[in-house]
Amino acid sequence: MRSVHSRTPSVLISSSIASKLPAAFRLQAGNRSLRVQAQIEPDEGSSDSVHLLEVSPAVSRAIAIPAYSYRILRQDESSIRIGPVVAVLIASKPSETTTNATKSRRLYKQLILQGWKRGIFIYCFFPQDVFWGRGLIHGHTYTPNGKWISGNFPIPDVVYNRILYRSTENQRMVQKLLEGFDNHPGVYLFNRRFLNKWEVFKVLAQDPMARYWLPETTLFSGTSLQSLIHRHKDLFLKPCHSSKGQGILKVERVDGRGFRYGRTEWKGKNWIYVPNLRRLSMRLRQSVDYPRRYILQQGIDLARLNGRIFDLRAQAQKNRQGEWVLTGVGVRVAARNRFVTHVPNGGSRANFYTVIKEVFPTSKTQHSIEQELHKICRIVPAVLEEGLQIPLGVLSMDIGVDSSGKLWILEVNSKPARFDEADIRHRHMELLIDYFIFAAEHNSKGR
């Protein structure tokens, strides 16, 4: 479409769209609206351009979004809503490295540019920059011309919570902000909070299909330790509120009565031996800052790649129809003599198909693993969303594969880390944009 240079509040739309509207109609973007005049352009070019609305600079200033050609989200006999307008809630940690901040900025830039291609306005904002009284948020966006700009933008149709630190998300100011979005009739907020391991297990264990993929799991106590250690050779203690492998302990039976345990932060072969169960229980309580909540989980005999354990990191997302699908899957391989695969703990990345073909040479097992991954990504997020009663749009799962090829769900994360695999990252962006549209169209709170 050609540019609109009128100083009057006008927008450029195709003749087929204009034919269903009066000469003047209400234009809506996020929480902003303005009565505008229609300038008509003949229906030419692709069908995509027919369903775009071009905002003039004058209208842009009035409704607080950049002048651009936007997707028509919804139309009735007297108004058009464009977008959706999407805001990504972000927050950095004081100790966050420059490298991490640069990677995050690059990721948001790619997402914003992908939005422009689809006629959707996306901006990022910090918790302290929401001005409810003015109905505006001070945010940051990346222009199609390749520049970061800051400005005051509308309260959006969709908010994606990408605060990556529990301590930040738990701050009173942030919680009050999230409650504000929850209560706002025009805002759809998703991935509202972190999950904890015990609530995830409890919800999945109640579902007859999801429980098939769960290791035996309970809250840690002296009694539960005594019960599980007699049924399983290895056990893991995991903090309910943690991620990235932090604070995990592994317990192993080493002879008729003795045990040893190690912690993710201990490198090499640093294990502590204890001669009996009573001593083990006492030492574990000291090591995990008991009574802080930990889960006790059955150890899985994971398959190995060149003598090192590995697991799968699968990402699931909702698509344009609001259905859960597998975005992609990568492999994380533990460092030698380590029992967690997380990259911050010395793990490394590997290609899923290459690893599965090397470890499981039969095509039947390879196919079975791939099909089971699709099944998990279709079922597990839906069960969690219903059981926890929180809107979700994206989840990642750490999935173990034992020596027989059976899959086990080890952890579920509502704040997935970035995938370095380019193909997965691209599909992630496409599905996010699709879900932004779906969420805005199906927001039952209504705008």
Nearest residue to 27 via CA among 42, 6, 13: 13
User: Which backbone phi and psi does 2 adopt, to 5 degrees?
Assistant: -80, 160
Supply angle C-alpha 237, 192, 153, rounded to 5. Answer: 145
The reported pLDDT for the residue numbered 229 is 92
> Which pLDDT score is estimated for 36?
94
Instruction: Check if 85-190 and 197-213+301-414 are the same fold.
Output: no
Torsion of CA 39, 45, 48, 53, to 10 degrees: -10
Q: What local confidence, expressed as pLDDT, does residue 32 receive?
A: 96
pLDDT tens across 65-98, in order?
A: 999 999 999 999 999 999 999 999 999 755 555 6
Domain boundaries, given as residue ranges, for the chain: 10-82, 85-190, 197-213+301-414, 217-298
For the beta carbon of residue 244, count every other beta carbon within 10 angstroms: 15
- DSSP output for 388-430: HT---SEEEEEEEEBTTS-EEEEEEESSPPPP--HHHHHHHHH
**What pLDDT is recorded for position 265?**
74
The whole-number pLDDT of residue 3 equals 45
Q: What is the pLDDT of residue 47?
A: 59
Is 383:207 a contact under the CB 8 Å cutoff? yes
- C-alpha distances (whole Å) from 97 to each of 93, 103, 104, 438 are 9, 10, 11, 35
> What's the token pair of residue 447?
């705008």
CATH of region 197-213+301-414, choose from 3.40.718.10, 3.30.470.20, 2.40.30.10, 1.20.140.10: 3.30.470.20
Q: 63 exposed, middle or buried (CB, 10 Å; 0-12, 13-18, 19+)?
A: buried
| Ranges of the chain with pLDDT below 70 | 1-8, 43-50, 93-99, 244-245, 267-269, 290-292, 341-346, 445-447
Task: Please report the pLDDT score of residue 2 as a whole number.
Answer: 47
For residue 256, the model assigns a pLDDT of 75
The top-level CATH class assigned to 85-190 is alpha beta
pLDDT of residue 1: 45
